[in-house]
Amino acid sequence: ANSPSFDDDLITKKAENGHLPAKSEVTNGTTKIEGEVKVDPMIGRFRMESSEKFDDFMRALGVGMLKRKLAGSVIPVNIIEIDPQGVYKISTLTTVRNSEISFKLNEPFVEET
């Protein structure tokens, strides 16, 4: 089981009114905790820019040439979202295959591939 933790990477801002509830509340990639708003910098859409030495890596794993060329030609787009309950969803979109994983920070989960 994995247990991702990005809390240390959140950007902290003071809430405008300074009077937020002490409990954690997540909305559109921001977390409100004890009068502070934390913005998660990872929310968004990301496109791979390069995959240097990926072919060498796959060759070392014993992947055949045809599969290596196909995998090397794919340019994935990752979409990272967070819902109001604090569940992160990471979608990986390609022309060959799409995948999705969901989890809550600091909670173990099983990743199935």
Query: CA-to-CA distance for 40 and 26, rounded, in angstroms?
Result: 10
Instruction: Return the CA Rg of the chain.
Output: 18
* Two tokens, residue 29: 């990639």
The residue type of 104 is K
Under 8 Å between Cβ of 40 and 82: yes
Digit-by-digit pLDDT tens for the chain (113 residues) are 444 443 433 333 333 333 333 344 445 555 554 556 666 777 889 998 888 999 999 999 999 999 999 999 999 999 999 888 889 999 999 998 899 999 998 899 888 87
**pTM value?**
0.59
The residue type of 85 is Q
Query: CA-to-CA distance for 55 and 10, rounded, in angstroms?
Result: 34
How many other C-beta atoms are found inside a 10 Å radius of the C-beta of residue 25?
13
Under 8 Å between Cβ of 30 and 12: no
